[in-house]
Structure 1
């Protein structure tokens, strides 16, 4: 299983990258806002540190805005992957961006059905939110297992990123289940 960091803190990213195991980054506008820096500048800096997929999330909630923002973010660096929330507009945007050769990461995945729809629409990655699923009284690891079973059954090429990691056992269990990637907060 590959390890990504879920962060916008450049120093954290540099530190983990120097250890040799970091293969990608997931981030979003809220994480960048905590750093009190410009979103695009932070993305450029992250891309200069990590030679792997860098997921950058759009802010727009409607289709046209998602497409516009996605193209702007994708133009920053070839390693940028566009995080799109899995809504009806998001699903349509994922499909359009896939047709245009822009990789996407379907985020806010709370069911295997959502993950399957995103994969079929052309998402390069899907990010089930394990911790948030746990928070609402369900089991995030069972969700991850269901997604992996469906993807394996149909030989889907979309990679699964275990997200919203809350504790070390989420990482171990995600690896046992066969998640392709875990994106882990620094602390």
Structure 2
């Protein structure tokens, strides 16, 4: 499974990259707004840190506007992936972009039918939001199971990128299902390391070593 970090914070991206586990980055307008930086300058910083897919989201909602933004963003670096909302105009744009060899990440997916449309349009990635579904008392991971099954049934090349991850169990469940990517906030990446028995065991080892006075 690939690990992406879901942030636009440069310090968090650098720290995650230093772990040697980071495969890519996803951003969105909300995350970029928190940083108070020019979007293009921010993307130029990110591509220097992470050698992997960097999702940059368009803000246009019409076909021509999406294509115009996508062409501008794709010029920044070969690793830029155009993030497009799962709406009719977005899917039309994805079809055109994929025919031009421009990678796309279709975002705000909440149903298997939406995921099927994105795959048929040639999306590079589909981003189902599991946490937001959980928030409305719907099983977000069940959606991941459905999408993975549908894509395998028809050998779609679109990668399942599990988004809106809230905790390590989401990551474990996504891995068991066979999703291709998990994108997660920095705090969730850190939590993946945590287990009380690991910390306790380490403390015991170090305390015993001190007793040897070496």
Q: TM tier, shorter chain?
A: over 0.9
Q: Which has the larger radius of gyration?
A: 2
1:32-51 alignment to 2 at 5 Å?
32-51=32-51
Number of aligned positions between the proteins: 187
CA displacement at 1:168 relative to structure 2: 1.1
Are 1:144 and 2:116 counterparts? no
Aligned to 1:158: 158
CA displacement at 1:125 relative to structure 2: 0.4
1:45-64 alignment to 2 at 5 Å?
45-64=45-64
Task: Report the secondary structure of 2:3's partner residue.
Answer: strand
Aligned to 2:88: 88
Are 1:23 and 2:26 counterparts? no
Aligned to 1:116: 116
CA distance in 1, matches of 2:84, 2:137: 25
Aligned to 1:168: 168
**Greater helix share, structure number:** 2
Calculate the aligned-residue CA RMSD, in Å. Answer: 0.7
CA displacement at 1:46 relative to structure 2: 0.4
Cα deviation 1:5-40 (Å, max 9, x = unaligned):
000001100001011000000001221110110001
4+ runs deviating over 2 angstroms: none
Structure 1 gaps of 5+ residues are none
CA displacement at 1:64 relative to structure 2: 1.0
1:115-134 alignment to 2 at 5 Å?
115-134=115-134
CA displacement at 1:133 relative to structure 2: 1.2
Structure 2 gaps of 5+ residues are 188-214
